[in-house]
Structure 1
């Protein structure tokens, strides 16, 4: 295993928590003792699905960065390009997650 493979493996492993978070968000909404859905579940379910999709995309960006680093090998120029692209994409995903949360909060606040 070359020295260029270790960062690729680290990037691949670091994307696993994003997939785990997405899976947790996809679970069924909380249910009361009488097996009826929780009162706030429709709006929360929509937000959870949106956040799960975004977290899946964050995980895919991590896996793509790992593949890019594997491809770059010992070429510093290629590796720099891959890391810069990954940083830009992950930050864009963070902004999308925050905008989704703020929009859901604003919508919930305006509800009667």
Structure 2
């Protein structure tokens, strides 16, 4: 294997790092880390932040595992497809889970004050 075969798996694994960073920020209850999510607008912002943090950690781990899988696949097209297809499905399913989580979160009605 030459160095070029490490580029794509490395890029896939590195793209998981922002998910870990954002998950860490949310784990501390910082909903302001996400645009358009304001903590005072939700009934239980800590629970929402924990749930989103958990889902983002799963996205990060999926991308790192996908990078390792692509490294294992090498130039074998069948192995590459066996890694890439489940990776795409998993990351998209987690994105849908995040959207559903935000949509199900209880919001305050009215002025936003309690």
**Structure with max Cα Rg:** 1
Distance in 1 of aligned mates of 2:22 and 2:89: 21
Aligned residue number for residue 92 of structure 2: 91
Aligned residue number for residue 54 of structure 1: 55
Q: TM-score, normalised by structure 1?
A: 0.80
Q: What CA RMSD, in Å, does the superposition of the two structures yield over aligned residues?
A: 2.5
Distance in 2 of aligned mates of 1:59 and 1:78: 21
Structure 1 residue 80: deviation in Å? 1.5
Distance in 2 of aligned mates of 1:82 and 1:92: 16
Aligned residue number for residue 107 of structure 2: 108
CA offsets, 1:4-63, max 9 Å, x none? 211110011110000001011012559xxxxxxx87787000000000000000000001
Aligned residue number for residue 33 of structure 1: none
Q: Which runs of 5+ in 1 are unaligned?
A: 31-37
Q: TM-score, normalised by structure 2?
A: 0.79
2:47 partner SS: helix
Structure 1 residue 102: deviation in Å? 0.2
The count of corresponding residues between Structure 1 and Structure 2 is 103
Distance in 1 of aligned mates of 2:16 and 2:78: 23
